[in-house]
Structure 1
Amino acid sequence: MSLQGTISTTPMDGAAAVLATDAFKLVYAEAFAEPPYYETADDVAAAFRHFPALTRRLAFRAVLARSSKGEPIGMAYGCPLRPDTVWWDELTKPVSDDMRRENGHRTFGLMELAVRAQWRGQGVARQLHKTLLDGTGAERVLLNVHPASEAAPAAYRSWGYRKIGEARLGGQGGELHDVMLLALG
């Protein structure tokens, strides 16, 4: 599918993201219903149950992409990792203390980035990523990605991310995800 008209990306703080929760939820539900995620309506509800609290975190930021007709087509959000973050504790193999060191602005945690199926392959994800990270002041970006999702890890690698380990999300019974890191500037 070729782009029809222009796509707009709107950066948002937490308050604006809360007002657009339905749009974020729509993109999330469609993107993560597909393999290898198979998210159900209950999974989506659970994911967004904590969204309002997440948006109140210091320096939370989000981006929503819309078609020229105003239809939500992609989204991304995250925030800097706190000094007491558990992200590093979820790795299956420990990393150095220097790698783990957080101060509340060193590492931006990219929590979600998704594009609806009909809009993929057109640079929407790259634009969301760029807009989300512009002006963060972070040294690096950390994310978890499902390794069975071939397109997402490939896109992240093409943007300069490197795999630094694996994490079992949701505790010992959770699925294994690749942990990827991007050094900024």
Structure 2
Amino acid sequence: MTVELRHHTTLTDHVRRDLLDVYADVRAPLLHLPNYRVEAFAERLDRHATEPGFELVLAFDGDTPAGYSYGNTVDAGDRYWSRMADPLPDGCTDTPVLALREIGVRTAWRGTGTARRIHDALLAARTEDRVTLMVNPLAGDGKVQRLYETWGYVAFNAQPPSPDSPRLTAMIRPRAR
């Protein structure tokens, strides 16, 4: 499979529609849960798209969107940090980090390296020294978190569950590896 990676720093209607289509397909088994509904994701996406350092990578196989990853810069005052379950390690917020907000790949492209290519493309031109993400430790019976560990991420905290979401594990790694 030949996948083309397209970078976006603004969320046009066309790009947003492509992303929402891929999201709905990737998360189809979970769409009945309030936090995973397309509308809930769209609200988060729209908020993140207006925050500093927003960048999106969409993967296309021909005209078909196959996957995505997006994130934005978070600094010491960002609510990202204030929602952590435990006190942060010393120096954790001294420099801005890239918060990888979402990554997803449609079933036909899983196991092909597409997710890693999208991830690495998002990180390639970033200036932050570190990247952080949240993962549901139960996703794929723990396979998703283990995959992130093979990419160099280590768990360092957690986010307590909200009424609409599960408890998430916070992971971090240097941007460049």
* Short-chain TM bin: 0.7 to 0.9
SS in 1 for 2:117: helix
Unaligned runs of at least 5 residues, structure 2:
none
Unaligned runs of at least 5 residues, structure 1:
none
Equivalence for 2:7: 11
CA–CA distance in structure 2, aligned partners of residues 28 and 15 of structure 1: 15
CA–CA distance in structure 2, aligned partners of residues 77 and 142 of structure 1: 12
Equivalence for 2:27: 32
Are residues 94 and 132 of structure 1, via their aligned partners in 2, closer, same or farther at CA, if it must alter by over 3 Å? same
SS in 1 for 2:53: coil
CA deviation vs aligned residue, 1:51-85 (integer Å, no higher than 9, x gap): 334222222100000113x1011001110003321
Residue 108 (structure 1) aligned with residue 103 (structure 2): no
Equivalence for 1:85: 78
Which amino acid in structure 2 is aligned with residue 177 of structure 1? L
Runs of 4+, deviation exceeding 3 Å: none
CA–CA distance in structure 2, aligned partners of residues 53 and 167 of structure 1: 19
Residue 95 (structure 1) aligned with residue 88 (structure 2): yes
TM-score of the two chains, using structure 1 as the length reference: 0.84
Equivalence for 1:20: 15
SS in 2 for 1:14: coil
Equivalence for 1:126: 116
User: CA contact under 8 A between 1:29 and 1:41: conserved in structure 2?
Assistant: no
CA deviation vs aligned residue, 1:125-154 (integer Å, no higher than 9, x gap): 000001111111111001100101133212
CA RMSD of aligned residues (A): 2.0
Equivalence for 2:166: 175
When structure 1 is superposed on structure 2, of 83-92 and 117-126 the one drifting more is 83-92
User: CA contact under 8 A between 2:76 and 2:93: conserved in structure 1?
Assistant: no
Residue 140 (structure 1) aligned with residue 136 (structure 2): no
User: CA contact under 8 A between 2:123 and 2:175: conserved in structure 1?
Assistant: no
Give the total of aligned pairs. 172
Equivalence for 1:184: 175
SS in 2 for 1:83: coil
User: CA contact under 8 A between 1:90 and 1:169: conserved in structure 2?
Assistant: no
Q: Please, which of 34, 39, 45 is the counterpart of residue 39 of structure 2?
A: 45
Q: Equivalences for 1:62-73 in 2 at 5 Å?
A: 62-68=56-62, 70-73=63-66
Which amino acid in structure 2 is aligned with residue 56 of structure 1? T
Determine what percentage of the aligned residue pairs are the same residue.
Answer: 24
TM-score of the two chains, using structure 2 as the length reference: 0.87
